[in-house]
Amino acid sequence: MLLLSWLLFVLFPYNQGTDTDSNIGPDQGKAAVQSSSIQEIILIGEDRLIILDYSKTTASHKHIVWQLKTSELSGLPAAFHKYFRKLDDAKSVDKNRKLLISSSGGGIALIDRKTKKCLFYAKAPNAHSIAYLPGGRIAAALSTAKGGDRIELYDPRRSKRPLFTDSLYSGHGLSWNKERQLLYALGFDKLRAYALKNWSSRSPELVLEQEWKLPTTGGHDLFAPSADKLLLSTNRAVWEFDIDAARFSPFAPLAKERLVKSIYYNERTQEIVYTKGEVRWWTHQIHFLNPDKVIPIPELNLYKVRVITR
């Protein structure tokens, strides 16, 4: 009997395919290594834009692939340089061929990344964020200033003056949701959703669809990790907003972080990149979670970072 059992084991070994651990493939389990979602990081501060290659950048070495001082912009009149000395936001648009920027010094601009030529510019008092909309139109959020506290809509092909405005106290954040065809705007104590109206005409408008009161005041940055969620920072915390449920809840990884100026979060990889006011309203370092690390930026009064994904 023992001899027979031994022969059966040799000829027909135990099939480990039914063991749950052995079925864990490269895409399963917490130990699975996720490839990074981050390709480049845009540094925004003072009058400078710097783009880093993320995969080649470490705490001791910054691999710069592109940089610009706004005074060097081709096509921007010298008289406008003063409006771009305090950059506060930048977004990579048009398949990463252009950069859309705003400055609390009072301007917004569209830049060709390859040539560093200014394709469009306009005065926009205390501009704090921008969004690239269908048809190449541009929305800007203006914070507190004479002529500020509002949302402005521009068509770069037609005019340097806004085609439409709507009041929003301390406008700070903008995010275009392509799936929902809505523009989300963040103010001091409100989150709003705007729909596009008369978009094919020469008199387009933004129509207020919904408005929600923030759980804490001091709305600052607005970021959409998906079509169904928004992340927003206030003076005291970072919140997650479930759009369908119309519900705010603390964003657990950064729920207790104060004065967060910019945030990026990828739901697949769980990567988080953020900056916060650590000197005054600026910082000299970029914070990362998953994996956790800090990259020092001592040479720049850094305000925000934006991520260009793969």
Confirm whether 193 is domain-assigned: yes
Confirm whether 165 is domain-assigned: yes
| SS3 label, residue 79 | helix
Residue-level pLDDT at 145: 97
Confirm whether 211 is domain-assigned: yes
Each as own residue / partner, the long-range contacts of residues 253-261 (CB below 8 Å, 24 or more positions apart, any chain) are 253/289, 257/233, 259/220, 259/235, 260/220, 260/221, 260/233, 261/220, 261/221, 261/233, 261/303, 261/304
Tell me the HSE value of 278 on the side-chain side, using a 13 A CA sphere.
Answer: 17
Tokens found for residue 47 = 């009058």
Q: How many CB atoms lie within 10 A of CB 248?
A: 18
pLDDT digits (tens, 9 = 90+) for 226-284: 999 999 999 999 999 999 999 999 999 999 999 999 999 999 999 999 999 999 989 99
Confirm whether 19 is domain-assigned: no
Q: Are 175 and 224 in contact (CB under 8 A)?
A: yes
Tokens found for residue 144 = 């507190």
Residue-level pLDDT at 159: 86
Instruction: Between 159 and 24, name the one with better pLDDT.
Output: 159
Residue-level pLDDT at 96: 98
Assign residue 91 the CATH number of its domain.
2.130.10.10
Tokens found for residue 286 = 């970029």
Confirm whether 3 is domain-assigned: no
Q: Are 308 and 53 in contact (CB under 8 A)?
A: no
**Which strands form 293-296's sheet, in the order they lie side by side?**
260-265, 272-276, 285-289, 293-296
% of the chain residues with pLDDT over 90: 87
Domain span at residue 42? Answer: 37-309
Cα 16 to chain center, whole Å? 46
- Average confidence score pLDDT of the chain: 91
Tokens found for residue 153 = 């809509």
**Which strands form 117-123's sheet, in the order they lie side by side?**
87-93, 98-103, 107-112, 117-123
pLDDT above 50: residue 15? no
Residue-level pLDDT at 34: 64
**In whole angstroms, what is the distance from residue 51 CA to residue 264 CA?**
16
pLDDT above 80: residue 3? no
Confirm whether 29 is domain-assigned: no
Amino acid at 240: E
Confirm whether 6 is domain-assigned: no
Residue-level pLDDT at 281: 87
DSSP secondary structure, 147-183, as one string: T-SEEEEE-TTT-SS-SEEEE-TT--EEEEETTTTEE
- pTM (global) more than 0.85: yes
Q: What is the mean pLDDT of residues 65-77?
A: 97
pLDDT above 80: residue 110? yes
Confirm whether 168 is domain-assigned: yes
**In whole angstroms, what is the distance from residue 43 CA to residue 67 CA?**
9
Q: Are 44 and 51 in contact (CB under 8 A)?
A: no
Quote the number of domains for the chain.
1
Residue 225, burial from CB neighbour count under 10 angstroms (0-12, 13-18, 19+): middle
Q: Are 72 and 81 in contact (CB under 8 A)?
A: no
Amino acid at 282: W
Residue-level pLDDT at 307: 99
Q: Rounded to 5 degrees, what are φ and ψ at 66?
A: -165, 140
Q: Are 140 and 126 in contact (CB under 8 A)?
A: no
Q: Rounded to 5 degrees, what are φ and ψ at 12?
A: -130, 75
Residue-level pLDDT at 28: 35
pLDDT digits (tens, 9 = 90+) for 21-41: 333 233 333 333 469 999 999
Q: What is the mean pLDDT of residues 207-232?
A: 98
